[in-house]
A and B are shown apart, each in its own frame.
Chain A
Amino acid sequence: MWSIVRKDLAIERRTGEMLSSLLLLALLVVLLFAFSLEPERLRGAEFVAGILWTTLLLAGTLALNRSFVLEREAGAWTALALCPLDRGSIYLGKTIANLIFLLVAAVLLLPLLALFLGTTGIAPSWLLPASIVLGTAGFAAVGTLFSAMASRTRAREVLLPLLSFPILAPLLIAAARTTAAGLVGEPLEHVSAWLVLLGAFDLVFLTAGWLTFDYVLEE
């Protein structure tokens, strides 16, 4: 499992493709929001949180699309499937690697958004990192599973968001809400139900991916 994480991270370290494209894309999405909506009205924690998650989902989906492309193109898919490894571990390894990319992107993106959209009234609490870790974990869990599936079809660029966005709807609602609360230092009681929901989402879809990846990897 960790060797797959190391492999993906090593490729990323050498090329830097995934992170740089993800970040540039995220920046452009933020600009799109600013141009299409009145930027002065997009102030405050809710917008920072909302736009952070929308951007992460949009840019992240495009980046996750690449996740299995290398395996498909280089013919490594069969090698991966033949690996003397539990298939679930391959899934977890891929998911952790993707989670690390998404986390790094979120951490770099957040100050940028805070700078653009609302430096006033921001008082981060520990809820902020918690919401980001739980949110990106669920996203990586669903995105990795579906990106393996989408990489097989001819319309994979369209298919991955089509499959993942509706499934991610509860995650997006919960993550945007908790991140907004974390940004302004709201007390835990206000968002504890949301945090539990995020945790449950992660648990359900990590387990589902781990159990069903067997059928996805098989050719």
Chain B
Amino acid sequence: MSSRSDVAGRLRPWSDVALPALTGVAMLTAILFVFVVVPDEKVQGVVQRIFYFHVHLAWMAFGGFVFVAATSAWYLRTGSRVADRYAEANAEVGLLFTTLVLITGPLWARPIWGVYWTWDPRLTMTVVLWAIYAAYLMLRRLGNGDETILRYAAVLGIVGVLDIPLLIIAVRLWRGIHPAVMLSDDPEAGLRDPTMIWGVILSGIALGLLFAWLVSLRARFAAIDDQLALRALESERR
């Protein structure tokens, strides 16, 4: 076997060195900003700081699910293993981020709304999305690498994204109101201090890099898995 296709052995300068290093630096800077530099928000106080992570986690996760659909369509078109690995990686990291959204949300909601959970449109949507992609990963796991199941998973990856707009409309019609976090009647409330904007930007960059790094790691694991299976097959033949 040529060393070119050997994914496990070599250190790749971008995804193995630069990306984790950048992620680490960005994460530390973001944490420094969010916990030390940024002042308390006027109305909600210290609890509001969780939003520097919470909001970005949600957007990254939803972005990840859109990537699942895109890579799934690519996989169905071409049968490319790379596309399938990226679909799986995005779904897994997206589900992880959604889980974190569902943990950070109630932590904020308890002191501010007085309850951990309420059937607010965004909460409802997030929990349904969580279930869709948990089912997606369950389907993959039950398939055990069977190619037909991988194709089914790709179909589900596309169908899942089609459901999102319908879901958004349904939960909005169902439960009208949601307190917009960044908007308030009080001119002093919200993101008034310029360092707060920096906090938002920095934590966004940090979580974006983290998402990308985790996805690239996960896709690489899948590639190594594929290679192991191939080697097992070859040694069986011998």
Tell whether, in the assembled complex, residue B166 and residue A197 are in contact, meaning their CB atoms are under 8 Å apart. yes
Tell whether, in the assembled complex, residue A167 and residue B142 are in contact, meaning their CB atoms are under 8 Å apart. no
Query: For A29, what are the chain B residues with a Cβ–Cβ distance below 8 Å?
Result: none
Q: Given contacts A159-B139, A193-B173, are A149 and B155 in contact (CB under 8 A)?
A: yes
Q: Which residues B142-165 have CB closer than 8 A to chain A?
A: 142-143, 146, 148-149, 151-152, 154-156, 158-160, 162-163
User: What is the bound-complex CA distance between A154 and B76, given in angstroms?
Assistant: 23
Q: Is the interface of A mostly helix, strand, loop or mixed?
A: helix
With both beta carbons as reference points, the residue of chain A lying nearest to B130 in the complex is identified as A166
- The answer, among B131, B142, B151, B163, for a CB contact under 8 Å with A159, is B142
Query: For A166, what are the chain B residues with a Cβ–Cβ distance below 8 Å?
Result: 128-129, 131-132, 135, 163
- The answer, among A146, A153, A170, for a CB contact under 8 Å with B163, is A170
Query: For B148, what are the chain A residues with a Cβ–Cβ distance below 8 Å?
Result: 152, 218-219
Tell whether, in the assembled complex, residue A167 and residue B170 are in contact, meaning their CB atoms are under 8 Å apart. no
User: What is the bound-complex CA distance between A193 and B131, given in angstroms?
Assistant: 25
Tell whether, in the assembled complex, residue B76 and residue A153 are in contact, meaning their CB atoms are under 8 Å apart. no
- In the assembled complex, A107 has its CB within 8 A of some CB on chain B: no
Instruction: Give 1 or 0 for each of B121-144: 1 = CB within 8 Å of chain A CB.
Output: 000000011011001001100110
Q: Given contacts A159-B138, A197-B166, are A145 and B155 in contact (CB under 8 A)?
A: yes
- In the assembled complex, A169 has its CB within 8 A of some CB on chain B: yes
Tell whether, in the assembled complex, residue B166 and residue A163 are in contact, meaning their CB atoms are under 8 Å apart. no
Tell whether, in the assembled complex, residue B132 and residue A174 are in contact, meaning their CB atoms are under 8 Å apart. no
- In the assembled complex, B167 has its CB within 8 A of some CB on chain A: yes
Query: For B171, what are the chain A residues with a Cβ–Cβ distance below 8 Å?
Result: 170, 173
Tell whether, in the assembled complex, residue B143 and residue A216 are in contact, meaning their CB atoms are under 8 Å apart. no
Q: How far is the CB of A154 from chain B (nearest CB, A)?
A: 7
Q: Given contacts A167-B132, A197-B169, A204-B166, are A215 and B154 in contact (CB under 8 A)?
A: yes
- In the assembled complex, A116 has its CB within 8 A of some CB on chain B: no
User: What is the bound-complex CA distance between A215 and B146, given in angstroms?
Assistant: 14
Q: Given contacts A159-B139, A166-B131, A193-B173, are A208 and B159 in contact (CB under 8 A)?
A: yes
Query: For B156, what are the chain A residues with a Cβ–Cβ distance below 8 Å?
Result: 146, 149, 163
Tell whether, in the assembled complex, residue B162 and residue A205 are in contact, meaning their CB atoms are under 8 Å apart. yes
Q: Given contacts A165-B131, A167-B163, A169-B128, are A194 and B155 in contact (CB under 8 A)?
A: no
- In the assembled complex, B116 has its CB within 8 A of some CB on chain A: no
Q: How far is the CB of A9 from chain B (nearest CB, A)?
A: 27
Q: Given contacts A152-B149, A159-B142, A205-B162, are A173 and B170 in contact (CB under 8 A)?
A: yes
Tell whether, in the assembled complex, residue A208 and residue B131 are in contact, meaning their CB atoms are under 8 Å apart. no
Q: Given contacts A159-B138, A173-B174, A212-B158, are A153 and B128 in contact (CB under 8 A)?
A: no
- The answer, among A149, A154, A171, A193, for a CB contact under 8 Å with B152, is A149
User: What is the bound-complex CA distance between A192 and B37, given in angstroms?
Assistant: 50
Tell whether, in the assembled complex, residue A167 and residue B160 are in contact, meaning their CB atoms are under 8 Å apart. yes
Tell whether, in the assembled complex, residue B159 and residue A197 are in contact, meaning their CB atoms are under 8 Å apart. no
Query: For B132, what are the chain A residues with a Cβ–Cβ distance below 8 Å?
Result: 166-167
Q: Which residues A160-190 have CB closer than 8 A to chain B?
A: 162-163, 165-167, 169-171, 173-174, 177
Query: For A37, what are the chain B residues with a Cβ–Cβ distance below 8 Å?
Result: none
- In the assembled complex, A155 has its CB within 8 A of some CB on chain B: yes
Tell whether, in the assembled complex, residue A208 and residue B162 are in contact, meaning their CB atoms are under 8 Å apart. yes
- In the assembled complex, A201 has its CB within 8 A of some CB on chain B: yes
Query: For B135, what are the chain A residues with a Cβ–Cβ distance below 8 Å?
Result: 159, 162-163, 166
Q: Which residues A124-170 have CB closer than 8 A to chain B?
A: 142, 145-146, 149, 152-155, 159, 162-163, 165-167, 169-170
With both beta carbons as reference points, the residue of chain A lying nearest to B154 in the complex is identified as A215
- The answer, among B149, B155, B162, B169, for a CB contact under 8 Å with A153, is B149
Which residues of B approach A to under 8 Å, CB–CB?
76, 128-129, 131-132, 135, 138-139, 142-143, 146, 148-149, 151-152, 154-156, 158-160, 162-163, 166-167, 169-171, 173-174
